[in-house]
Chains A and B, each alone.
Chain A
């Protein structure tokens, strides 16, 4: 039997065994170090930069976890440039692709010469476009008489927005000196070119590219520090909007109006109601559902192309943001709603319209689909090129939805046998998982079989290889119980009411929004937030409000050798 961590594990108090199934074989200690499956220290991975996540960090209960200096992701860069300059070219798309960090969500792993070169190119391109409307951008004409006065005012106001904190007198002076040199030094640029260089310089500044808005102005609070107002404002805005704070939030930070929970709550509610919240939720939905790479995936079906794949991703993004930001935001709705918005090629796949139809609201067929997990894109993403994959689907549910971890397969796994007459898909998979593989596959395949009504592009079917689809399956250890189901519709019904799934979603938002894994030190706050989440009928929006106003967001531990006041 697999090596499930015991329920007395502290982590299980709030329900999620992060390393639930390490090894799948019962040999926990043999896999990856003595701490794995131990006292709960593994959850602290990444919480302290540089520790490699394997050392248990002694800390008083209630203390906060660490926060690492983090560059903007591509999505954040694009949104920030859009809000800062109105530039819609999404220049950040040219940056190196970001791999999923240990959180499961995309992060810039390392800024090296490649990133630096691309930051440079993007800044040049954006600056070139923005200086075409110079007087309106600067609020004055840098080519006019009072040029240095004009530049000075621009640096001060633009700098505050670009740095997401007030810009200091010394910093202004440095920019002015830079501008003067561009204009009158050996380069002798025109006012337009010098202004362009100025904007490009802002866009390459570490104060723009990194999320560390006056973080040194943190206030000691117990064993940790309370974030400075501007740092907190950005934490909120990048979590909720995947972008920079707006003027109202900046003003709140300047006026010390982010000190009390009620004040922060007001801002959080305002921001969640703002249309910009869709950006962040869309990014979350895409990554949580594992569909980021769908557009480039190969599927052996006529009609499969990047346009259809893109329509699938957009449907998922809309589905989640409509549910969370506009609808009742409950877990139940997320996993059972049949209201969706689909574009042309996808409407045809669902059998509710033709390819040319514009994007519109639909009700998914009652007997076929219910909730986010049954959307075509989710099913297509967790498939093989040539057929649906109960393994990948089961793995996805287990890891992304239930927050259990399945170890990677050994390197010498043979390919699945091709279909052959007289052998059902279940029998074929059963043969594949014989022997040592079975412990892990028992965690995945029986869940995945529930989705057999969806083929490898997510299309509903009643037969597969000329045999009726068998979508019966089971899920072990869901909230501590083993359950069976007749189809995906029953399975999603179970998941929709599962505290484990609710808690997993809470943790996924934590990892996504804070770009780190939850540590032991966050568990007390998470327990409290989860209790409220449960009591409120798993209202996800309210859970986010609670998370964003908790000490998880407002506090952190100082980093080693960090200079604080």
Chain B
């Protein structure tokens, strides 16, 4: 990826001209008027959850369970903006074991699920890794699918931000990416967008130049003057051509009008975020300040979206087994999180602190720790929602109204590794496409019946303005999950 400098000249290109427009296709006009660009954030966390992660059904909705470090407590304030979806199956991953490995008894556990969690298609042979699960995606993940299929998203200076808060080494399924661009070309590597981790580099790429408000206003005025001139000429030509050609030119004129709106729309919230301290980053596989990296990556994602540098972001929190990730910043709540773990599995990662993987495997014994860690990740999800709710688009509405956030967990229980019947979250919205504020114990709409991810992804793709489709990736996994719709 080329570095994008925020100097004045490139700013002209980056201001949101290049197709930065809300599509107004009559066939998909589910919002009354165009409001702001539609955006998508996907998040994935590993290692499952305890029973305390499930909401308690109460009259009129749900509430978080009343336990110590109850994970859902932290997202409860955002109830109205999100939907809890239960009964989600990564069916394409489950079927990959059978169909690609040709082994009816094989199963892909939660640690090996990343090439399938967002792709909706059975996998294919991929980069060799030691444990034999050498598989990769055969279809773009939902975030990259949106990038590839919505021209105005693809044309952003950053078509997507693919982030991870810790530097990983290559190799092993623990290092599989979350986002994929499609099939692998050579079978020896994943076909995946570049992953950015170091927040200092990211800051320079996104906000390295100056953001001068007066200069921006002038640039906007100048663009408008050019577009006004073009409109005048289009009308002159329109007067001279035949009936059908007049309609062709009307499309062009409408496009110019949309562009003018778009220029006015680039959010006043486009402000350079505060640069994080330089000591929060380390190139190691474990980072005692990972929590701060996560925060700054969220801040930068929100700012980049406010400036319309990008409309799609993918956050992997963190690798799919997390046996190098420890949580010293939580030691003020549970001091043992700073201690060496002496019993049970040590997961062979080179560090023997209480890492996420080990705690997950011992979730019975270490339930408080597990809940606290899951709460930590959900706190960041809540922070994301909070930032998007308090940052306004140019139309004065909170950005969250046109930003969709999908929060996924890679497995069900920490020790069980199941990839069926998962509980995920969908927050925010996309021009009012989704009916939020609900607990849907079964995404399928039928009790005790699980649903493949494809219905959810079909809904997201359609909501984001991809060419309308009845299915995603593999039609045999069914159509859109209309239960999510407004």
| Distance in angstroms between the alpha carbons of A159 and B183 in the assembled complex | 48
Least CB distance, B197 to chain A, in whole angstroms: 28
Asked whether any CB of chain B lies closer than 8 Å to the CB of A29, the reply is: no
Least CB distance, A525 to chain B, in whole angstroms: 23
* Complex contacts, A561 vs chain B, CB 8 Å: 242-243, 246
Interface residues on A, range: 35 or more
Minimum CB distance partner of A216 in chain B = B240
* Complex contacts, B233 vs chain A, CB 8 Å: 205-207
Least CB distance, B8 to chain A, in whole angstroms: 11
Least CB distance, A186 to chain B, in whole angstroms: 7
| Distance in angstroms between the alpha carbons of A194 and B146 in the assembled complex | 38
B245 adjacent to A181 (CB under 8 Å): no
CB within 8 Å for A210 and B242 given contacts A113-B23, A114-B151, A201-B226: no
Asked whether any CB of chain A lies closer than 8 Å to the CB of B80, the reply is: no
A-contacting residues, B6-40, CB 8 Å: 9, 12-13, 17-21, 23
| Distance in angstroms between the alpha carbons of A63 and B222 in the assembled complex | 48
Asked whether any CB of chain A lies closer than 8 Å to the CB of B252, the reply is: yes
| Distance in angstroms between the alpha carbons of A186 and B225 in the assembled complex | 11
Asked whether any CB of chain B lies closer than 8 Å to the CB of A50, the reply is: yes
- Contact for B242 among A124, A181, A205, A558, CB less than 8 A: A558
* Complex contacts, B225 vs chain A, CB 8 Å: 178, 181-182, 187, 197
Least CB distance, A416 to chain B, in whole angstroms: 17
B232 adjacent to A174 (CB under 8 Å): yes
Asked whether any CB of chain B lies closer than 8 Å to the CB of A69, the reply is: yes
Asked whether any CB of chain B lies closer than 8 Å to the CB of A488, the reply is: no
| Distance in angstroms between the alpha carbons of A207 and B237 in the assembled complex | 8
* Complex contacts, A560 vs chain B, CB 8 Å: 242-244
Interface residues on B, range: 35 or more
| Distance in angstroms between the alpha carbons of A563 and B9 in the assembled complex | 42
Asked whether any CB of chain B lies closer than 8 Å to the CB of A462, the reply is: no
Contact with A along B24-66 (1 / 0, CB 8 A): 0000000000000000000000000000000000000000000
A187 adjacent to B222 (CB under 8 Å): yes
* Complex contacts, A204 vs chain B, CB 8 Å: 226, 230
Contact with B along A139-182 (1 / 0, CB 8 A): 00000000000000000000000000000000000100010011
Asked whether any CB of chain A lies closer than 8 Å to the CB of B325, the reply is: no
| Stretch among B253-261, B362-370, B380-388 lining the A interface | B253-261
* Complex contacts, A112 vs chain B, CB 8 Å: 251-252, 254-255
- Contact for B183 among A120, A187, A298, A558, CB less than 8 A: A298
Asked whether any CB of chain A lies closer than 8 Å to the CB of B249, the reply is: yes
- Contact for A69 among B183, B248, B259, CB less than 8 A: B248
Asked whether any CB of chain A lies closer than 8 Å to the CB of B102, the reply is: no
| Distance in angstroms between the alpha carbons of A206 and B237 in the assembled complex | 7
B248 adjacent to A562 (CB under 8 Å): no
Minimum CB distance partner of B258 in chain A = A113
B19 adjacent to A118 (CB under 8 Å): yes
- Contact for A117 among B230, B248, B259, CB less than 8 A: B259
A116 adjacent to B255 (CB under 8 Å): yes
Minimum CB distance partner of B150 in chain A = A114
CB within 8 Å for A197 and B222 given contacts A113-B19, A206-B233: yes
* Complex contacts, B129 vs chain A, CB 8 Å: none
* Complex contacts, A133 vs chain B, CB 8 Å: none
* Complex contacts, A305 vs chain B, CB 8 Å: 185
* Complex contacts, A178 vs chain B, CB 8 Å: 225, 229
B241 adjacent to A182 (CB under 8 Å): no
* Complex contacts, A116 vs chain B, CB 8 Å: 252, 255-256, 258-259
Asked whether any CB of chain A lies closer than 8 Å to the CB of B299, the reply is: no
A120 adjacent to B222 (CB under 8 Å): no
Asked whether any CB of chain B lies closer than 8 Å to the CB of A424, the reply is: no
A-contacting residues, B321-350, CB 8 Å: none
* Complex contacts, A68 vs chain B, CB 8 Å: 244-245, 248
* Complex contacts, A210 vs chain B, CB 8 Å: 237
B234 adjacent to A110 (CB under 8 Å): no
Asked whether any CB of chain A lies closer than 8 Å to the CB of B100, the reply is: no
B229 adjacent to A120 (CB under 8 Å): no
A-contacting residues, B281-323, CB 8 Å: none
| Distance in angstroms between the alpha carbons of A49 and B227 in the assembled complex | 27
* Complex contacts, B226 vs chain A, CB 8 Å: 120, 197, 200-201, 204
* Complex contacts, A287 vs chain B, CB 8 Å: none
Least CB distance, A148 to chain B, in whole angstroms: 18
Minimum CB distance partner of A302 in chain B = B186
Asked whether any CB of chain B lies closer than 8 Å to the CB of A89, the reply is: no
A206 adjacent to B9 (CB under 8 Å): no
Least CB distance, A178 to chain B, in whole angstroms: 5
* Complex contacts, B259 vs chain A, CB 8 Å: 113, 116-117, 120
Asked whether any CB of chain B lies closer than 8 Å to the CB of A550, the reply is: no
| Distance in angstroms between the alpha carbons of A110 and B249 in the assembled complex | 9
Asked whether any CB of chain A lies closer than 8 Å to the CB of B438, the reply is: no
Minimum CB distance partner of A181 in chain B = B225
| Distance in angstroms between the alpha carbons of A215 and B237 in the assembled complex | 11
Asked whether any CB of chain A lies closer than 8 Å to the CB of B155, the reply is: yes
Asked whether any CB of chain B lies closer than 8 Å to the CB of A14, the reply is: no
A69 adjacent to B249 (CB under 8 Å): yes
* Complex contacts, A200 vs chain B, CB 8 Å: 226
| Distance in angstroms between the alpha carbons of A101 and B23 in the assembled complex | 23
B18 adjacent to A69 (CB under 8 Å): no
CB within 8 Å for A117 and B242 given contacts A128-B9, A181-B225: no
* Complex contacts, B239 vs chain A, CB 8 Å: 563
* Complex contacts, B237 vs chain A, CB 8 Å: 206-207, 210, 212
Residue of B9, B18, B155, B262 with most partner-chain A CB within 10 A: B18
| Distance in angstroms between the alpha carbons of A298 and B181 in the assembled complex | 14
B252 adjacent to A111 (CB under 8 Å): yes
Least CB distance, A193 to chain B, in whole angstroms: 8
The list of the 6 closest CB pairs from A to B, nearest first, reads A559-B242, A116-B255, A562-B242, A50-B244, A69-B245, A49-B244
State the A residues within 8 Å of B (CB): 49-50, 68-69, 94, 96, 110-118, 120-121, 124-125, 128, 174, 178, 181-182, 186-187, 189, 197, 200-201, 204-207, 210, 212, 215-216, 298, 305, 558-563
Instruction: Write 16 A-B pairs (CB below 8 A) sorted by A numbering.
Output: A49-B245, A50-B247, A68-B248, A69-B241, A94-B18, A111-B251, A113-B19, A113-B23, A113-B152, A116-B252, A116-B258, A117-B17, A117-B255, A562-B241, A563-B240, A563-B241
Kindly list 8 other residue pairs between chains A and B, CB separation below 8 angstroms, not including A124-B13, A174-B229, A187-B222: A50-B244, A112-B251, A113-B23, A113-B254, A201-B226, A204-B226, A562-B245, A563-B239
